[in-house]
Structure 1
């Protein structure tokens, strides 16, 4: 049963993942932005991806009009003393506005709109179902890690610390499977390093499954939905190297609470593993109900997975119905159809068996299932 649940979860996460052609298009668009800034503004400009896109943990938006959200850092080589948060954000916004104007004059493939939010500028590409969130940043020269940055935030007085490049390296290091796959690809391509977004390993699928379930669970309560970075960090810390997605997910949600700190000053804390002064659970201290709802969500998904595993002998339709109630029926049903097609192919190849005691189709032993010719008793 666990193997079947893993197939359904993995299939659903694949369906909700950003399509490879759209991923490559988004890469070409942000590289174009970076090249234009470097050519127009000089070499002190740099654009690179961060967040779920960089980590390979993207899931489809949960609102029909949302579009895929691609997070970028727009790095400007400036000393903190030479600018302000408002000044930096305005500078980046003016450059991006000029970029959009130039692309439109050329009749090119630029964004259709630019809009400001609290921390970033959003470049919209509605015809391609994605947008680029561009976060202005400068070097954090007071921190030992050379990839550390300072971020703008119009609602706060102080600069915000971060390190997306260092975080991606840390995330990779949590999975021996990911390191192995990426190293093999690097050797095959004869390059120094392959980006995480090129592969999908158990840890990445685990994070996608949790974000998927969380998005459905908090669809009517978006203000209290746990941030993606909090889920990703706790999941990566809790991941024990399991190879099947069911076990990896269940064990991770059971272990995640032990990585939540309650410090002597009473603050709840989930530190950024590459910048200890950044607290991914900071909002819990201002809004205590968010921590309560986070823990309730963990309990909910734990119960779901345990219940599904106990449905031995009840058939695939019942398992799909149980998972679909919490994950949404559409992706689970699509994953089930893919699973059915896969099993049909294995049966036709003579590699499919019925698991003893459950009656469920399996590839891991049991009574061999004979192929069907569909010609009837009189044959050809």
Structure 2
């Protein structure tokens, strides 16, 4: 399938031929080998997969914390309806970003708050919203009791004493605004995918409406994650079994990380945070999450469009890490990471105004990520694998209390309970 994502992946593969050749040769050898080769390879992958899966579980935010955060939506909605005298049915508040794609992670030190991104869609058939600045400021006034603080396109509500803060973006559905307002919006931003979820948000520095599609971005990530790139090696092994009954069957994988795109987003964001904490990259220039998410999802989508398949999620994780940095475009001397849902929006726009510092940080992080994954995959001993995964992703060492990763030995260990610090 000749899609934009497929073209990006093909370009990335041209820039990283060594890793691709190695992957293809490995897969060809596996297909042509004996059933014992399949079994040995899956056992080997299983050791890495268990450690990475436990790390993924450790950095995830608890469902109870997410539920507590979503309760805040109703509180905000009631404030708006009461203080602005708007009908409650005219206000719709939905999560966006990492919450809606199930890729929210806790901070490495465990004490920082995590942020919940939300969008407030207002039905303008009930209210007046022609002036973007007045619309934005009226929202802030209504949220004064919640100590809301203005940002470029949203209001940040700190929620003192809670484990989270809310970044709340006022908006109106793009398909409900007047032709005059639509005409006044920046013409270079147009909806390219998921048109039905597109919004008009307020860009305060320019005091104008701007096209946005956060829900479309979430739908894109969620839809792409449903596409499966992992081959059913166990099923193929059963075919070989019938021809070689004396060979032991392929073992069942105790840890399932087949939701590989979401696992990659979580683990790669955590690795970025650890690189910042360790001084590998500067916090001021670290790659923002939306760039990581866009590049990974584009890469995953492109691999799917090209009908690529992988023998195990661990191999796919390694491939994503290898190809991801090469999906960044440089056109006319400018770096580009395009928003797939809003044509003309460049998530890497700031990379072109800082003397290349953000790009350098991104490449330094991407290089460290690939190197760290290779050190994990070079380990064969279960205890060494667990130790290296803990070091790379900043997971506490196991104690008598059960914190950190368990040693990977049969029987398969339960996922370690997460600590309460969140990010």
Answer whether TM exceeds 0.5 for this pair. Answer: yes
Post-superposition CA distance 1:16-71 (Å, at most 9, x none): 11101111222222144335545742233221111001111000134555212100
The equivalent of 1:234 in structure 2 is 295
Distance 2:49 2:404 in 1: 11
Residue 283 of structure 1 corresponds to: 350
Q: Of 340, 358, 362, which residue of structure 2 is paired with 1:273? A: 340
Partner of 2:47: 4
Tell me, which stretches of 5 or more residues in structure 1 are unaligned? Answer: 101-112, 179-198, 346-380
Please give the residue correspondences for 1:250-269 in structure 2 after superposition, counting only pairs within 5 Å: 250-263=318-331, 265-269=332-336
| The one of 266, 273, 294 aligned to 2:362 | 294
Instruction: Tell me the residue number matched to 1:175.
Output: 225
**Following superposition of structure 1 onto structure 2, how do residues 56-71 of structure 1 map, counting pairs within 5 Å?**
56-62=102-108, 64-71=110-117
Q: Which residue of 1 aligns with 2:76?
A: 33
Alpha carbons of structure 1 residues 82 and 58: separation in structure 2 relative to 1, 3 Å = closer
**Partner residue, 2:376:** 308
- Please name the residue that 2:202 is paired with: 152
1:329 positional shift:
3.9
- For residue 238 of structure 1, report the CA deviation from its aligned partner: 1.5
Q: Which residue of 2 aligns with 1:76?
A: 122
- Equivalent position of 1:367 in the other structure: none
Cα distance in 2 for partners of 1:31, 1:202 equals: 33
Gaps of 5+ in 2: 1-43, 176-181, 183-189, 229-256, 304-308, 415-423
TM-score, normalization by structure 2: 0.65
Q: Judge conservation of contact 2:58–2:395 (CA < 8 Å) in 1.
A: no
The SS at the match of 1:330 is: coil
| Match of residue 273 from structure 2 | 215
Is the 1:122–1:133 contact (alpha carbons within 8 Å) kept by the matching residues of 2?
A: yes
Matched, 1:129 2:163: yes
Query: What is the CA-CA distance between 1:215 and the residue it aligns to?
Result: 0.8
Match in the other structure for 2:315: 247
Contact 2:338–2:345 at 8 Å: present in 1 too?
A: yes
Distance 1:244 1:114, change over 3 A: farther
Please name the residue that 2:213 is paired with: 163
Offset, 1:158: 4.6
Preserved contact between residue 162 and residue 278 of structure 1 (Cα < 8 Å): no
Aligned equivalent of 1:191:
none
Offset at 1:262? 1.8
**Alignment of structure 1 residues 362-373 onto 2, 5 Å:** none
Q: Does 2:142 correspond to 1:87? A: no
SS, match of residue 112 in structure 2: coil
Residues in 2 aligned to 1:238 and 1:93: alpha-carbon distance in whole angstroms:
38
Q: CA RMSD in A?
A: 3.1
State which of 150, 154, 159 in structure 2 corresponds to 1:120.
154
- TM-score w.r.t. length of structure 1: 0.72
Is 1:224 matched up with 2:269? Answer: no
- Note if contact 2:390-2:405 (Cα within 8 Å) is conserved in structure 1: no
Give the conservation status (yes or no) of the 8 Å contact 2:104–2:266: yes
